[in-house]
């Protein structure tokens, strides 16, 4: 499948997290809607209120089955607003949905909801993960241990923190200083808390120098995703305001990761957010654009395209 394929033609879904459970692909997107809120840099127009889950048995020729609402903001005890990008992990027969949500003070934290089935419904815990902040959780399972990658700038509030401490005022580094990194943290055995302090996900250039804040076409902005290929860890992410999907490769879950290049050139619509997964012997890039909505950036549509590697392990860029 070389041509991108839209997956949910009758609704606006975005920010997909995708995993293989029980021999099927399960897609966990955010759910865009027309909220009437004017667009701004804080992302208030992204006023998502629930999650659906979709499954597929055949990416090439099949359709995505909608299993309905699996979690609604009204059912989360600590909820304020905005259910943004989520991810799901499986351990010991349970499925754990990790979701960013603003509390009643408009501060993002990451919560957990649990189900016995990948298609939900998911029951939220009464409180968010202690010490959690910002957005875009992504989960990696590695030899029975689970790691969460998270963080996003601007509306994602990552600029309000340094070394896991809240700042009095948001702060951005100078252009020649190291860029604000995403974070990685090991989860506790019960999957409900952090097992340690989160660490920075450092992205280096080929000379071993950390990418700088002014390097807008390579530095991290949001949308962490991690996958393994031929024993290497591929950390992919969005550059945000330069609209690229990029990736870097490392030797362990904590990094550092060495920048490699661009996966996906800019799509129609402001945001770029994705998942990379192997299914039935092929690799796929799930992402979104705003073509069906006429370019409205907060009404995005899910799509998928085959992803291919070069012989040296680098990823072929998708135009």
In a domain, 23, yes or no: yes
Residue 319 located in a structural domain:
no
Q: Is the predicted pLDDT of residue 16 greater than 90, yes or no?
A: yes
Tell me whether residue 18 is in a domain: yes
Concatenating the DSSP letter of every residue in 81-94 gives: B-----EEEEETTE
Q: Which DSSP symbol is given to 131?
A: T
Tokens (6 digits) for 70: 């699996």
* pLDDT bucket at 319, cuts 50 / 70 / 90: confident
Q: Which domain range does residue 68 map to?
A: 5-178+186-195+269-307
Taking residues 244-270, report their average pLDDT.
Answer: 97
> In this predicted model, what pLDDT tens digit does every residue of 146-196 receive, in sequence order?
999 999 999 999 999 999 999 999 999 999 999 999 999 999 999 999 999
> Could you give the residue numbers annotated as active site?
15, 222
Does 95 reside within a domain?
Answer: yes
pLDDT above 70 (res 290): yes
Residue 72, domain member (yes or no): yes
CA angle 52, 29, 14 (to 5 degrees): 125
Single pTM value for the model = 0.97
10 Å CB burial of residue 240 (0-12, 13-18, 19+) is: buried
Q: Flag whether 257 is in a domain.
A: no
Asked, for residue 34, whether it belongs to a domain, the answer is: yes
Q: In what order do the strands lie in the sheet with 13-21?
A: 13-21, 24-31, 50-56, 65-72
**41-49 average pLDDT score:** 93
pLDDT tens for 183-238 read 999 999 999 999 999 999 999 999 999 999 999 999 999 999 999 999 999 999 99
Count the domains in the chain. 1
CATH number at residue 144: 2.115.10.20
In a domain, 245, yes or no: no
Separation of alpha carbons 294 and 289, rounded Å? 10
């Amino acid at each position: 499948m070389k041509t991108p394929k839209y997956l949910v033609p009758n609704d606006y879904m975005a920010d997909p997290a995708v995993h293989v459970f029980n021999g099927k692909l399960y897609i966990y997107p955010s759910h865009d809607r027309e909220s009437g809120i004017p667009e701004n840099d804080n992302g208030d127009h992204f006023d998502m209120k629930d999650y659906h889950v979709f499954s597929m048995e055949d990416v090439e020729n099949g359709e995505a089955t909608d299993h309905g609402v699996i979690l609604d903001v009204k059912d989360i005890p600590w909820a304020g607003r905005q259910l943004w990008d989520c991810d799901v992990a499986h351990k010991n027969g349970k499925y754990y949905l990790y979701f960013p949500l603003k509390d009643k003070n408009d501060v993002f934290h990451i919560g957990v909801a649990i189900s016995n089935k990948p298609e939900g419904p998911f029951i939220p815990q009464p409180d968010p993960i202690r010490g959690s902040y910002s957005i875009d959780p992504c989960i990696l399972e590695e030899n029975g241990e689970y790691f969460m990658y998270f963080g996003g700038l601007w509306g994602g509030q990552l600029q309000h923190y340094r070394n896991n401490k809240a700042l009095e005022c948001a702060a951005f580094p100078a252009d020649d200083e190291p860029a604000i990194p995403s974070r990685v943290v090991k989860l506790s055995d019960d999957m409900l808390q952090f097992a340690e302090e989160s660490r920075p996900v450092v992205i280096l250039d080929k000379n071993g120098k950390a990418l700088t804040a002014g390097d807008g076409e390579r530095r991290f902005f949001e949308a962490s995703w991690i996958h393994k290929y031929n024993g290497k860890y591929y950390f992919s992410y969005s550059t945000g305001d330069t609209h690229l999907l990029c990736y870097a490769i490392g030797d362990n879950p904590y990094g550092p990761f060495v920048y490699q290049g661009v996966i996906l050139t800019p799509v129609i619509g402001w945001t770029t957010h994705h998942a990379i997964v192997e299914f039935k012997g092929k690799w796929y890039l799930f992402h979104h654009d705003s073509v069906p909505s006429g370019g409205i950036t907060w009404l995005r549509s899910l799509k998928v395209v085959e992803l291919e590697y070069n012989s040296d392990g680098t990823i072929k860029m998708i135009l």
